Amino acid sequence: MIIIVKQDTSKEKITSLIHSLEEQNFKTHLSEGENTTIIGLVGDTSLVDIDSLKARDIVEDVRRVSEPYKKANRKFHTDDTIVEVLGKKIGGGHFAVMAGPCSVESEPQILEVAESVMQSGATFLRGGAFKPRTSPYAFQGLEKYGIDFLLECKKKYGIPIVTEIMGISDIPLFEDVDIIQVGARNMQNFRLLKELGKLKQPILLKRGLANTIEELLMSAEYIMSGGNENVILCERGIRTFETYTRNTFDVSAIPMLKRLSHLPVIADPSHAAGLDWMVEPLAKAAIAAGADGLMIEVHNDPPHALSDGKQSLTPTRFSEVMKSLKAYMQLESKTLE
């Protein structure tokens, strides 16, 4: 950690700051330049309160040099984390395809979609029971019934299920859910993250629309520091000035996250662009960039979907897309199973 001292600060004040830092068991190094004086701080700085340092009147700025996350950091855990659910693996060369409708709409609908996506090679069934919608007047999901219908699919076809949680009070409903998803808008709902840290199930954590890669890793750290180290990171597009696509799919986040962290990283090409025809090229790009899995929206009847129909593939189209994706998985030596 680097402390930049304000210009024309007296020697006494600098010495006093150094003493107070050394009392906290940090080693310090002073560099006095012509125009700038800096103090290097050595030790475990992940617990330093950067805010109170910045507030000292002789301090111009404080900059971190090492990452503020530890459990999610590859420096302290070099091997890839492999998340395993009902025999399906994610990470370390194992590729996952999570497919299904944006919203669970009825039992026959989800059973039909489940069967068809499994036939095309999907390894997980996704479907929204609780839906975060911008408008209070829009369809908000089947809630408990949605989860029941997903569990019905799991029972019938043996496919593990992934679905989104929106609040702590719903945790009991998720007891048999295989992977619990945290949506982009809840990425920094720290209360929820803390509670999920106490659970056993893997957590699929989506990057917020305007959250940095570091913030995503800090949110993973929240869950992991609670004891649940099975976190799957998901890039799903960030908010930029571009309007032709709903979000800007930050494909470079994939190799960056893989380098910084040992956690599996998947991509959601359906939400990233919001356009059905763009799912295939973005899915291929994600695999090429090193993703460990994909989350793809598939709906039996997109024009009558209760949410996000524009970005959903039909089962037929999904089957074609999967064929082309498998060639990419092979090139990257990923196994889908």
Return the residues of window 291-330 that contact a copy of itself according to CB under 8 A: 302-310, 312, 327-328
Binds a copy of itself by CB under 8 A, chosen from 91, 101, 208, 315: 208
Question: Does residue 305 sit in helix, strand or coil?
Answer: coil
Binds a copy of itself by CB under 8 A, chosen from 113, 204, 287, 295: 287
- Could you tell me the smallest distance in angstroms from the CB atom of residue 115 to a copy of itself? 22
94 or 246, CB closer to a copy of itself? Answer: 246
CB-side exposure of 231: number of CA atoms within 13 Å? 33
> In this structure, how many other beta carbons lie within 10 angstroms of the beta carbon of residue 208?
21
Question: Does residue 268 sit in helix, strand or coil?
Answer: coil
**Is 198 a residue that touches a copy of itself (CB under 8 A)?**
no
**Is 333 a residue that touches a copy of itself (CB under 8 A)?**
no
Binds a copy of itself by CB under 8 A, chosen from 15, 119, 139, 158: 139
Binds a copy of itself by CB under 8 A, chosen from 16, 19, 32, 320: 32
**Is 159 a residue that touches a copy of itself (CB under 8 A)?**
no
Order of all β-strands in the sheet with 59-63: 27-32, 37-42, 2-5, 59-63
How far apart (Å, rounded) are the C-alpha atoms in residues 197 and 180? 11
Question: Does residue 168 sit in helix, strand or coil?
Answer: helix
Binds a copy of itself by CB under 8 A, chosen from 137, 172, 200, 333: 137
- Could you tell me the smallest distance in angstroms from the CB atom of residue 160 to a copy of itself? 25
Q: For a copy of itself, what does the binding mask look like between residues 218 and 257, x meaning CB under 8 A?
A: x--xx--xx-----------xxxxxxxx--xxxxxxxxx-
85 or 311, CB closer to a copy of itself? Answer: 311
25 or 200, CB closer to a copy of itself? Answer: 25
Q: Which two tokens stand for residue 51?
A: 């805010």
**Is 214 a residue that touches a copy of itself (CB under 8 A)?**
yes
Number of residues that bind a copy of itself (CB under 8 A): 110
Q: Which two tokens stand for residue 294?
A: 């994909």
CB-based burial label for 180 (10 Å; 0-12, 13-18, 19+): buried
Q: Which two tokens stand for residue 216?
A: 């995503």
> Please, which residues have CB within 8 angstroms of residue 137's CB and are 6 or more apart in sequence?
none
Spatial contact of 62 and 52, defined as CB atoms under 8 Å apart? no
Which span (84-92, 113-121, 152-160, 187-195) binds a copy of itself, by CB under 8 A?
Answer: 187-195
Which span (113-121, 148-156, 215-223, 227-235) binds a copy of itself, by CB under 8 A?
Answer: 215-223
Spatial contact of 325 and 294, defined as CB atoms under 8 Å apart? yes
CB-side exposure of 230: number of CA atoms within 13 Å? 17
Q: For a copy of itself, what does the binding mask look like between residues 117 and 136, x meaning CB under 8 A?
A: ---------------xxxxx
